[in-house]
Amino acid sequence: MSVSEPFDLIRVSLSERVFVKLRGDRELRGVLHAYDGHMNMVLSDVEETIYVVDDESPEVRTVKRNVEMLFVRGDGVVLVAPPSR
């Protein structure tokens, strides 16, 4: 790998599990299969975590769901990283 620019770092994660932070207090963990210059992505075996604040009480709860195969539009993507266990 000659030059290390940000997309080269994502390229290394192809077919690996990644952690994706999205706008709207959402996170995804899944296997990265495709991406493009807009950060549009295709992931599989995805777990989505949504952080929800319940009506003024200081508690934050999480809503999780699983999706087998997911296209994610790039304009919602904030961060892509190896999964934090």
Tell me the three state secondary structure of residue 83.
coil
If phi > 0 it is left, if psi is from -120 to 50 it is alpha, else beta; for residue 25 that is: left
Cβ 52 to another protein shortest distance, Å: 12
In the bound state with another protein, the residue whose beta carbon lies nearer, of 17 and 31, is 31
Give me the phi and psi of 8, to 5 degrees please.
-65, -35
Q: Which residues bind another protein (CB under 8 A)?
A: 7-8, 11, 14-15, 24, 31, 33-37, 40, 42, 44, 67-73, 75-76
In the bound state with another protein, the residue whose beta carbon lies nearer, of 36 and 60, is 36
